[in-house]
Amino acid sequence: MNKKIDYEYFEEKLRKEREEVIKEIKILEPKVEGNPIEEGEETTPFPTHIADIADVESRLNRDSYLITQLTWKLKDIDAALRKIVEKTYGICEDCDNGIRRERLEAIPYAKYCKSCADKREKVGWREEEL
């Protein structure tokens, strides 16, 4: 058990982070789905130069990549909020040890303790970047 964890504090933190993520997704989604050009943007709806087209495309790719990242993050946040309810928040999913508070401050939705995350990183898996 991780008795030192202040559940309320982290729940608040996670909820705020969740709102931010949803906000970001809402901003990015219309750009990716359907109309790539947002109102008020300076880019012309029909780029005439190859460079412009490439630019719009790379922007769209970046946006959809960001959405994917944000969606993962949202899932992790939801999972963390569930753990708060179940009182298992702050416990590493791999080794069952408590995750250090500093780590939770930086990544409140962290699933693993630092050493387990490092181990996973070595095999090509990494915790969400900050």
Question: What residues make contact with Zn ion under the rule CB under 5 A?
Answer: 92, 94-95, 113, 116
Q: Answer yes or no: are the C-beta atoms of 107 and 128 closer than 8 Å.
A: yes
Q: Which is nearer to Zn ion, 3 or 49 (CB)?
A: 3
Q: Which is nearer to Zn ion, 21 or 92 (CB)?
A: 92
7 alpha-carbon distance from chain centroid: 20
CB 11 to Zn ion: min, Å: 22
Nearest Cα neighbor of 95 from 78, 112, 110 is: 112
CB 86 to Zn ion: min, Å: 18
Q: Which is nearer to Zn ion, 70 or 113 (CB)?
A: 113
Secondary structure (DSSP) of 18-44: HHHHHHHHHHHHHHHSS--SPTT-SS-
CB 103 to Zn ion: min, Å: 10
